[in-house]
Structure 1
Amino acid sequence: MYIRNVISNQQMVLKEEYIRLIFGLKLKQIRTKRNLSLFGLSKLSGLSKSYLNEIENGKKYPKRDKILILAEKLEVTYDEMVSTKLDKNLAPIGEILQSGILKEIPLEVFGIAESDLINIISNAPSKVNAFISTIIEIAQNYNLGIESFYLAALRSLQEAENNYFPEIEEAVLQFSEAYQLDLSENIKSMELEEILVEEYGYTIVPDAIDQSPGLENLRSIYVPKSKKLLLSSRMDEAQKAFIFAKEIGYNYLEISTRPYTFSWIEFKSFDEVLSNFQASYFAGALCIPRKRLQNELKKFLQLKKWDDKEMINMMQSFNASPESFYQRLTNILPNDFNFKNLFFLRFTHEEGAPKYYLKKELHITHHQEPHANEINEHYCRRWVSLKTLMEISTTKKSHVFNTQISEYENSKNQYLVISSATADPFKKGHYRSISIGILLTSSLQKKYPFLTNHNIPTAKVGVTCESCSITDCDVRAAAPKRVLKAASFKETVLKVEELTKKFE
C-alpha cells in the first residue's frame, strides 16, 4: 500500500508539473501572437513581470482570478486558457513533456535547467520536434537504448572534467587515514574485506555465484537486505581487491542508488550510472593511489629512451588489473602531467570471430581519431589495440603488451599508443584489449625526450576499412566503400561541369 501511495503521489506531482508547463507555454504563445512583451503584458494586466515570467517558465500556476484577468486582457476565453489541449504548433512539445523523456535526460549534470530547454523548444516547436524525431530515429537505427544514452552522458561528463574528480581523490585520502591504510604499499583484498565485514556489516559469500548456472559473466552480486556480497571463484587477487574497494566506495561516499551486480546487468536511471562510476573511481584511486602513481610516472618520464619493460614493471607493481591501471592513467596523466590529448579504448573479441567490438571509449580534450563507428563497419586492423587481441587469441599468453606510433591517414596526427590484451576469465575463448593513446605534440616531445628517442614501430592507420584510403593495406577486412563513393561523386560532379561548359 505504501509503494502504491508513493507512485500515486509521484504521478500527481508529474501531472501538476505538466499542467504548469503547458499553461506557461500557452500564455507565452498567446502573448507573442498579440505582439506583447512581458513588460507590456505586466502593464496591461497589473501582474508583475517577474510573476508572469515564473508562470511562463512553468514554475507557478496562477489562481482563478489571475487567469480571468489574463484571459480578458489577451482576449481569449477562460476555458481556452486552462485547457491542456495544444494547437498543432505546440502539440509536439506536449508529447515530449507527457512522454517523460526530459526526466530521463540528466540535464542537471550539465547545468541545464529543464525550463531553459523547454524555452528553446517552444521558440521553434516544429523544427525542434523534427530534430528530436530525427535523433530518435537515428538511435533506433543504430540500436541505441536508454542505457547507451546514459553511458554517453557519463562519458561527456568525464571528458568535460578531464576525467579527474578531486572530491573523490580527497575522500580516498580521508578514508585511508581513518582506517590506517598504508597507501605506499599495495592494499590486499583481505584488508578491505575486513573493513567491509567489521565496519559495514557485510557477509562475504565466496563461490556463491558459481552455484547458479547462467551467471558466469558476473563477478559479484550484492544483496542489500542481508548485506551479503556473493562472489565468483574466477576472480584473481586484483579483481577481488577492486570489488571490495568499490563496495567500500558505495558505503564511504554514502551512495544509496546503485546497481547491485558487477558487471552491471542494466542501469535503471542515470543516478545508478553515476553512482557506479563514482564507486569505481574510488576503488581505482584506492588500489592505485595518486601519489604513488605520480612518483612512478615521474621516474618513467625521465627515461632517455622508451622502454616497454619499464612500463610493464610499473603496471605490475600495483595490485590492479591492466584495465584499472590504464583507467587510472586517464585520471593522472591529464591532470598532473599535462597530457591533455589522449584516448582510452577497450575492445573485446571472440576467438575465431571476424569482428572486434569497441565496448568502452574516452577522449580527453577533444574527440580523437579512434572512436565508435556505425554498425557493421570494420575497425582498422593496423591498430595496436587489435594486434594485441590477434596475438593473444593465437598464442594464449596471459598478457600481451605492445606499443605503436599510429599516424592517422585522414589527419596526419601521430599518437603513442600502448596496449595490453588479456583473456576474459568469465568467458571462455573471449579476449579484451585496453589501450591508451597520447597525441604527440611538439611541446610534449621537447619536454619528454623518450617520445622522440625510441625504437617503437610507426604504422599508418585508418579508422574503419570502409572509410580508409590507404591503398597498400594487406590486412584490410572490407572494401573502402565510403572512399569509393566519395570518389565516384567527385567524378560525376567534374563530368557535369565539363558538360555544362560544353553547352554554355
Structure 2
Amino acid sequence: MEDEYIRLIFGLKLKQIRTDKNLSLFGLAKLSGLSKSYLNEIEKGKKYPKTDKILQLSESLETPYDHLVSLKLDKNLAPIGEILQSKILKEIPLELFGIKENNLIDIIANAPAKVNAFISTIIKIAQNYNLTRESFFLASLRSYQEAHNNYFEEIETDVEKFAKAYHIDLLKKVTSNDLEEILIEEFGYTINTEELQKHKNLDELRNIYIAPKKMLLIDNTISESQKTFIYAKEIAYNFLKIEERLYTFPWIKFESFDQVLNNFIASYFAGALIIPRKSITEKLTNLFALEEWNSLKLHKIIKHFNCSQETFYQRLTNILPKFFNIKNLFFLRFTHQDNSPEFRLNKELHITQQQAPHANRKNEHYCRRWISIKTIKDLENSVKNRATFGVQISSYENQKNEYLVLSSATQDPFKKDISRSVSIGLLLSPHLKKKLTFLKENTFTKKIVGVTCETCAVENCKERAAKPTRLQKNNKYNNIAKTVDDIIKSYS
C-alpha cells in the first residue's frame, strides 16, 4: 500500500468525522492541542500523524483509535478509495493533459463528498455503456490526439531523421523490401512467414512479435501496403527505442496506457514514413487548386503512396489541420457484415469541434444517408475486388453545420463477409471554400442527413431503418413542459 494512499485515506476520514461533529479546523485544534495548519496538512493527505497525535485526535473526536487508522472508508466515500486503490491515476499519464496528480489529490481532499458522487456517476455510466478498461484507454488517447490537432512535430522530425540515416528517399514510394532489409541487417530481426499459417484461430492476426528472439511472425497473405505498414511500425519501436509495446497487430489487449500511447506513436511514425508530409502537402496543394473536381486526381495521389485507404485518410487528419489550417474535421471507420442490419462505427476522431456523428452506445441505427454507409452498400453490390468511392455534402437536419465528406469502402482482408469504409468530413466554411478552388455551389450532391434514425425528424425518408422513437419521446415531454409553463403563466 503506498504511503500517499494511506495518508489520503486518513485525511479523508479525519475530515469526515470532524465535519459530522460540526467542528471547524479551528475547533478541532482547540480540542486536540494540535495546530490548525498541521491538521489542514493531515486532511489534505500531505502528512500522517504519529501514534501519540492519533491518540489525541481519537480522544478529542471520541472516535476509536482503530477506526481512525483503518483503511476502510465509510460507504459514502468507498468509491474514492476504490479508484485510488485501483491505481488508475498511475496508469494514465496525467501529465500528457497538463494535470498533476497532486492537484487531483487536493480536489479530492477539499470536496470528498462531491468528488465521490462524481466518481460514482462515472462508474455507473461506464457500467451502463459497457465501458471496458481498453475503451477507456482508447478514449483517453483520442482526447490526447484531438488536443494536439492530431499533429506531432517530434514524430514527423524523427521520421525524417530515420530516412536520412538509412538513405530512404522520401520522394519515392517506400516498399516493404526497403524496410525489411533494415529490420534484418540493422535491428537483428528474423522474419517468419510460415508459423501463423499453422494456426487457424489466428487468421485475423497480421503479425506477432517475439521479443526474446527478435522474431516477427507475419501473415504471408497480406498485401504489400499492409506489410510495409507493419515493418514501418517495427522500425518505429526500434528507432525510437520504445520498450513498452504491443506484440500483435491488430492488438488483443492492452496492459497499460503506455502501450496504447506507444502503439499510436509507432502507427503515426509508420504513416508519416509511408506518406511523407512534404510529398503529401505538395500533392494536396495541387489538388485543391483545381478549377474542377477530379476524383481520378485523388485516386492517383493515393496510388502514389504504398498505403491502404485507411492509412491515407488517417494521414489527412495529420496534414490538413497543420498545413492547410483545416481543423474542423472528423474521421470515421464503419464496418458491416453482409446481410446484417447493423453498421458499426468502431473508430472515430474529431478535431477542434465535436462534430457529429459520434459512436452511440444505444444500439440505434446510424443515418443510412451518410456517404460512409452508401459506399459500403455500393461495394457489397459490386464484385468487391476493388474499392468504391463517394463524396457528398452532408447537411445535418435542424443544424447549421454542413460537411464535405469523402469516403472509401473495401472488403476486410482478414474477416470474411465484412466490409468497411473510412471517411473524412470537412466542415463547410468560408475558409474551406477559399482553400478548395473546385468547391462551388453545385459541385457535389447535397443530402439532408440525421445522426440516428431514432433521433431524426426527416419525413418520408426512404432510407429510414427505424422509427424516430427517441425524438417522439423528447417531443412529448417538451410539449408537456410547455403546457405546464403556459398554465403557470396564466395564473401568475
Same fold (TM over 0.5): yes
Indicate how the Cα distance of structure 1 residues 243 and 78 shifts in structure 2: closer, same or farther if over 3 A, else same: same
Indicate how the Cα distance of structure 1 residues 494 and 53 shifts in structure 2: closer, same or farther if over 3 A, else same: closer
Are 2:129 and 2:361, in contact at CA under 8 Å, matched by a contact in 1? yes
Equivalent residue number for residue 482 of structure 1: 470
Residue 482 (structure 2) pairs with residue 458 (structure 1): no
Residue 255 (structure 2) pairs with residue 247 (structure 1): no
Q: Deviations over 1:15-69 (max 9, x none)?
A: 433212223334555677642379x89xx7469x5x8776544355454566567
State the Cα distance separating 1:205 from its structure 2 match: 0.5
Indicate how the Cα distance of structure 1 residues 487 and 227 shifts in structure 2: closer, same or farther if over 3 A, else same: same
Distance in 2, matches of 1:276 and 1:122, equals: 35
Equivalent residue number for residue 248 of structure 2: 261
> Tell me, what secondary structure is at the counterpart of 2:212?
coil
Q: Deviations over 1:262-314 (max 9, x none)?
A: 00011121111111101000100111111111111111111122221111111
Q: Deviations over 1:395-442 (max 9, x none)?
A: 024111111111011313111100011111111211110100000111
Residue 388 of structure 1 aligns with an amino acid whose one-letter code is: T
State the Cα distance separating 1:73 from its structure 2 match: 8.6
> Tell me, what secondary structure is at the counterpart of 1:451?
coil
Are 1:45 and 1:73, in contact at CA under 8 Å, matched by a contact in 2? no
Written as runs of structure 1 = structure 2, the 5 A alignment for 1:349-360 is: 349-360=336-347
State the Cα distance separating 1:491 from its structure 2 match: 3.5
Q: Calculate the aligned-residue CA RMSD, in Å.
A: 2.9
Residue 433 (structure 2) pairs with residue 445 (structure 1): yes
Indicate how the Cα distance of structure 1 residues 80 and 173 shifts in structure 2: closer, same or farther if over 3 A, else same: same
> Tell me, what secondary structure is at the counterpart of 2:438?
helix
Residue 166 (structure 2) pairs with residue 212 (structure 1): no
> Tell me, what secondary structure is at the counterpart of 1:449?
coil
> Tell me, what secondary structure is at the counterpart of 2:25?
coil
Q: Deviations over 1:92-150 (max 9, x none)?
A: 43333234444444433323233322332343333332332222222222222111101
Residue 297 of structure 2 aligns with an amino acid whose one-letter code is: E
Residue 410 of structure 2 aligns with an amino acid whose one-letter code is: T
Residue 112 of structure 1 aligns with an amino acid whose one-letter code is: I
Distance in 1, matches of 2:223 and 2:128, equals: 39
Residue 353 of structure 2 aligns with an amino acid whose one-letter code is: H
Distance in 2, matches of 1:94 and 1:243, equals: 42
Are 1:306 and 1:454, in contact at CA under 8 Å, matched by a contact in 2? no
State the Cα distance separating 1:393 from its structure 2 match: 1.1
Written as runs of structure 1 = structure 2, the 5 A alignment for 1:17-416 is: 17-29=4-16, 34-36=23-25, 45=34, 55-64=42-51, 81-87=68-74, 90-395=77-382, 396-416=384-404
Q: Deviations over 1:156-198 (max 9, x none)?
A: 0000000011111111111111111111111110110111111
Distance in 2, matches of 1:281 and 1:501, equals: 59
State the Cα distance separating 1:200 from its structure 2 match: 1.1
Picking from 417, 425, 428, the partner of 2:413 is 425
Residue 422 of structure 1 aligns with an amino acid whose one-letter code is: T
Indicate how the Cα distance of structure 1 residues 177 and 140 shifts in structure 2: closer, same or farther if over 3 A, else same: same
> Tell me, what secondary structure is at the counterpart of 1:403?
strand
Normalization by structure 2: what TM-score?
A: 0.91
Q: Deviations over 1:351-374 (max 9, x none)?
A: 111110001000000110111113
Distance in 2, matches of 1:348 and 1:363, equals: 19
Q: Which moved more, 1:87-96 or 1:162-171?
A: 87-96
Residue 272 of structure 1 aligns with an amino acid whose one-letter code is: Q
Q: Which moved more, 1:491-500 or 1:335-344?
A: 491-500
Indicate how the Cα distance of structure 1 residues 73 and 136 shifts in structure 2: closer, same or farther if over 3 A, else same: closer
Indicate how the Cα distance of structure 1 residues 309 and 383 shifts in structure 2: closer, same or farther if over 3 A, else same: same
Distance in 2, matches of 1:224 and 1:300, equals: 43
Distance in 1, matches of 2:218 and 2:373, equals: 31
Residue 302 of structure 1 aligns with an amino acid whose one-letter code is: A
Are 1:57 and 1:115, in contact at CA under 8 Å, matched by a contact in 2? no
Distance in 1, matches of 2:310 and 2:42, equals: 51
Distance in 1, matches of 2:458 and 2:110, equals: 47
> Tell me, what secondary structure is at the counterpart of 1:266?
coil
Residue 428 of structure 1 aligns with an amino acid whose one-letter code is: K
Indicate how the Cα distance of structure 1 residues 23 and 502 shifts in structure 2: closer, same or farther if over 3 A, else same: closer
Residue 353 of structure 1 aligns with an amino acid whose one-letter code is: S
Distance in 2, matches of 1:384 and 1:280, equals: 26
> Tell me, what secondary structure is at the counterpart of 2:213?
coil
Q: Which runs of 5+ in 1 are unaligned?
A: 1-13
Q: Deviations over 1:199-221 (max 9, x none)?
A: 11110011421210111111111
Indicate how the Cα distance of structure 1 residues 54 and 232 shifts in structure 2: closer, same or farther if over 3 A, else same: farther
Are 1:234 and 1:426, in contact at CA under 8 Å, matched by a contact in 2? no
Indicate how the Cα distance of structure 1 residues 35 and 490 shifts in structure 2: closer, same or farther if over 3 A, else same: closer
Distance in 1, matches of 2:211 and 2:312, equals: 29
Distance in 1, matches of 2:320 and 2:489, equals: 57
Q: Which moved more, 1:208-217 or 1:53-62?
A: 53-62
> Tell me, what secondary structure is at the counterpart of 1:450?
coil
Residue 25 of structure 2 aligns with an amino acid whose one-letter code is: L
State the Cα distance separating 1:478 from its structure 2 match: 0.4
> Tell me, what secondary structure is at the counterpart of 1:233?
coil
Q: Which moved more, 1:465-474 or 1:103-112?
A: 103-112
State the Cα distance separating 1:471 from its structure 2 match: 0.4
